[in-house]
Amino acid sequence: MRLFLAIDLSAEMKAALTETMHALKKQGVRGKYVPSRNLHLTLAFLGECRSAEPVKEALAGVKCRGFRLSLAAPGTFGNILWAGVKGNQGLAGLAREVRGALDAAGISYDRKEFAPHITLVREMSGRWQGVPAPKGEMTVKGISLMKSETKDGKTVYTEIARLG
């Protein structure tokens, strides 16, 4: 199964991001828009795993101490358009702790440098500059172990465990 660790976003934050995506569409930005239900902030992408149990065990000692998460201006990685997240010691510390626990347990994950963002559009084309930064804030209280699968041609993310 394909797994990743993420921060699940509040309904209010998803609504703010969806509003931004509508503004992008009105401006003519084309691409594969992420469905509102799939919006999240990835802490670590694990990829294909035989079982979720080793991940749950590895993260049993990780505690999310609660912190505020605020949206920031959009940006791009190649043809991926994302919403930014304001710099935050709580988020940076949680990501370090999660990745450290995975390292200690010998669980492999994508080791790209942690760059907090929320993907909005894949295979994006068009002019996106000028769309205002989404406004949203929430309190992070835990980590979600997520499973990614394709059903009827659509990507579906399912929380299989709440950690921290």
Domains observed in the chain: 2-163 (3.90.1140.10)
**Catalytic residue selected from 117, 124, 138, 144:** 117
Q: Give the global pTM.
A: 0.92
Contacts of 150 (CB under 8 A, 6+ apart): 156
Are 54 and 107 spatial neighbours (Cβ–Cβ below 8 Å)? yes
Are 125 and 25 spatial neighbours (Cβ–Cβ below 8 Å)? no
User: What average pLDDT does this structure show over 129-147?
Assistant: 93
Angle made by CA atoms 92, 144, 100, in degrees to the nearest 5: 45
22 is catalytic: no
**Catalytic residue selected from 3, 6, 9, 40:** 40
Which pLDDT tens digit goes with each residue over 72-98?
999 999 999 999 999 889 999 999 999
Which pLDDT tens digit goes with each residue over 98-108?
999 999 999 99
| Whether pLDDT at 164 is above 90 | no
- Look at residue 92 and give its three-state secondary structure: helix
| Whether pLDDT at 17 is above 90 | yes
Please state, rounded to an integer, the average pLDDT across all residues of the chain.
94
